[in-house]
Amino acid sequence: MESITTDDAFRAAIQGEGVTVAVFKTTWCPDCHYIEPFMPAVESKYEGTIRFVQIDRDDLPDLCCSELNILGIPSFIAFKQGGELVRFVSKLRKTREEIEQFLDRALQVADALAN
């Protein structure tokens, strides 16, 4: 998963024609560490349909907290052409199944908007 460390890099990453999912994490978050073992398999499952990027919320607090209103982590936001499609933001631990349901929903929304 590509790491994004600047606001400009984030804005460039979400401009694509395809679906980009930004994963917001921190190094100190136990729930963020919980998803690490299965995220590579999730990325592989959606390879070619979703681009994944990760942002450490503490590195970009203005973007994450003020602009995007991300308070719970890990959080996921799907973008296409710079616009937000859907988000999976909560303070609760996320399971692989919940993440995959969110990703499927993001692809459905992107398809619906294209038609």
**pLDDT mean over 69-74:** 83
**In which element (H, E) is residue 25 found?**
strand 19-25
**For the segment 27-62, what is each residue's pLDDT rounded down to a tens digit?**
998 998 999 999 999 999 999 999 999 999 888 877
Q: What per-residue confidence (pLDDT) applies to 58?
A: 85
Q: What per-residue confidence (pLDDT) applies to 73?
A: 86
**Percentage of residues in the chain with pLDDT exceeding 70?**
97
The architecture CATH gives domain 2-114: 3-Layer(aba) Sandwich (3.40)
How much is the mean pLDDT over the chain?
A: 89
pLDDT over 80 (residue 90) = no
Strand order of the β-sheet with 19-25 is 2-4, 50-56, 19-25, 75-80, 83-88
Backbone conformation region of residue 82, classed left if phi is above 0, alpha if psi is from -120 to 50, else beta = left
Residue 56 near residue 25 (C-beta atoms within 8 A)? yes
The first and second tokens of residue 40, run together, are: 């590579």
Q: What per-residue confidence (pLDDT) applies to 41?
A: 95
Rg (CA), the chain: 13
Q: Where are the domains of the chain?
A: 2-114
